Amino acid sequence: MAYNDSAVTYEFVMSMVEAYVLDHPEFQMCREFGHAMRPTHRDYIGKASGSAFTLLKKLKCRSCGTKRIDEYSSVTRDLIRRAYEYPDGYLLVGMTMSRHDMRSWNMERFLAERAAVEEAEAA
């Protein structure tokens, strides 16, 4: 979420992250650390022209089930195209959420828990 937009406050972003995590705790790790992608199929040839071709790699996240297809050039070895297929509820509508947002939310929780422990110890 872009809270450098003056209309969107940090508190608002944190409340949106909180709501998202409560609705979809299964996506929290991927949102903070990225997907745990692993190949699901052997690599295979996509488009071919003469001796050149594209190599396709199908991957799936072990954590959330997001699927990804990467397409590489046999000539340059560069990634040409990447496409994702997300599980229901993973994507947000009308906003984005960065890893920084998720880290910030976790930091807020950590600080609140630590403050509660210190307060209990002081009592």
Query: Which two three-digit tokens encode residue 35?
Result: 């997907």
Burial label, 63 (beta-carbon count in 10 A; 0-12, 13-18, 19+): middle
Q: Which is nearer to Zn ion, 54 or 66 (CB)?
A: 66
**Euclidean distance between CA atoms 78 and 71, whole angstroms:** 9
Number of residues that bind Zn ion (CB under 5 A): 6
**Euclidean distance between CA atoms 96 and 111, whole angstroms:** 24
**Euclidean distance between CA atoms 54 and 47, whole angstroms:** 5
**Euclidean distance between CA atoms 30 and 37, whole angstroms:** 10
Give the residue, chosen from 1, 16, 61, 102, that forms a contact with Zn ion under the rule CB under 5 A: 61
Report if residue 30 touches Zn ion, rule: CB under 5 A.
Answer: yes
Q: Which is nearer to Zn ion, 3 or 20 (CB)?
A: 20
Q: Which span sits near Zn ion by CB under 5 A: 15-23, 57-65, 96-104, 111-119?
A: 57-65
Q: Which is nearer to Zn ion, 54 or 60 (CB)?
A: 60
Report if residue 59 touches Zn ion, rule: CB under 5 A.
Answer: no
CB of 63 to Zn ion, least distance (A): 4
**Euclidean distance between CA atoms 72 and 6, whole angstroms:** 40
- In the range 70-89, which residues lie near Zn ion by CB under 5 A? none
Report if residue 17 touches Zn ion, rule: CB under 5 A.
Answer: no
Binding site residues, Zn ion, CB under 5 A: 30, 35, 61, 63-64, 66
